[in-house]
Amino acid sequence: MEQWVELTGRVVIVTGGSNGIGRAICDSLSELGARVINADITPPVKEGGAEYLPCDITKKGETERLVEDVFGRYGRIDALVNNAGVNRARLLVDTKEPGSKYELSETDYEAMMSVNVKSAVFMAQAVARRMIPCKKGVIINMSSTSGARGSAGQCIYAATKAALSSFTKSIALELGKYGIRVVAVTPGINEKTAMTSADAYMDALAYTRNTTKEAIDSNYEASIPLGRLGRLREVADVVCYLISDRASYITGTVLNVSGGKTTD
Question: Concatenated DSSP letters for 100-169?
Answer: -TTB--HHHHHHHHIIIIIHHHHHHHHHHHHHGGGT-EEEEEE--HHHHH--TTBHHHHHHHHHHHHHHH
- Using CB under 6 A as the binding rule, whether residue 194 contacts ligand NAD is answered as yes
- C-beta closer to ligand NAD: residue 137 or 187: 187
- Using CB under 6 A as the binding rule, whether residue 81 contacts ligand NAD is answered as no
Contact 20/232 with Cβ under 8 angstroms? yes
Please report, as a single letter, which amino acid is at residue 74.
Y
In degrees and rounded to multiples of 5, residue 141 shows phi and psi of -110, 130
- Using CB under 6 A as the binding rule, whether residue 137 contacts ligand NAD is answered as no
Of the candidates 7, 11, 14, 57, which one interacts with ligand NAD according to CB under 6 A? 57
- C-beta closer to ligand NAD: residue 125 or 179: 125
Catalytic residue list contains 157? yes
- C-beta closer to ligand NAD: residue 96 or 231: 231
Contact 141/120 with Cβ under 8 angstroms? yes
Residue span binding ligand NAD (CB under 6 A) among the ranges 6-14, 51-59, 92-100, 176-184: 51-59
- C-beta closer to ligand NAD: residue 196 or 253: 196
- Residue 89's Cβ-count burial label (10 Å; 0-12, 13-18, 19+) is buried
- Using CB under 6 A as the binding rule, whether residue 84 contacts ligand NAD is answered as yes
- C-beta closer to ligand NAD: residue 194 or 250: 194
Residue span binding ligand NAD (CB under 6 A) among the ranges 14-22, 72-80, 202-210, 244-252: 14-22
How many Å apart are CA 30 and CA 7, to the nearest integer?
9
Catalytic pick from 102, 157, 201, 207? 157
**Count of CB atoms within 10 A of residue 115's CB?**
21
Residue span binding ligand NAD (CB under 6 A) among the ranges 79-87, 175-183, 208-216, 217-225: 79-87
Closest CA to 116 of 95, 85, 142: 85
- Using CB under 6 A as the binding rule, whether residue 85 contacts ligand NAD is answered as yes
- Using CB under 6 A as the binding rule, whether residue 147 contacts ligand NAD is answered as no
Contact 42/18 with Cβ under 8 angstroms? yes
Going from the C-alpha of 99 to that of each of 14, 110, 152, the distances in angstroms are 37, 17, 18
- Using CB under 6 A as the binding rule, whether residue 13 contacts ligand NAD is answered as no
Residues 15-34 that bind ligand NAD (CB under 6 A): 15-16, 18-22
In degrees and rounded to multiples of 5, residue 14 shows phi and psi of -120, 125
Of the candidates 28, 190, 244, 251, which one interacts with ligand NAD according to CB under 6 A? 190
Binding site for ligand NAD (CB under 6 A): 15-16, 18-22, 40-42, 55-58, 83-87, 115, 142, 144, 187, 189-190, 193-196
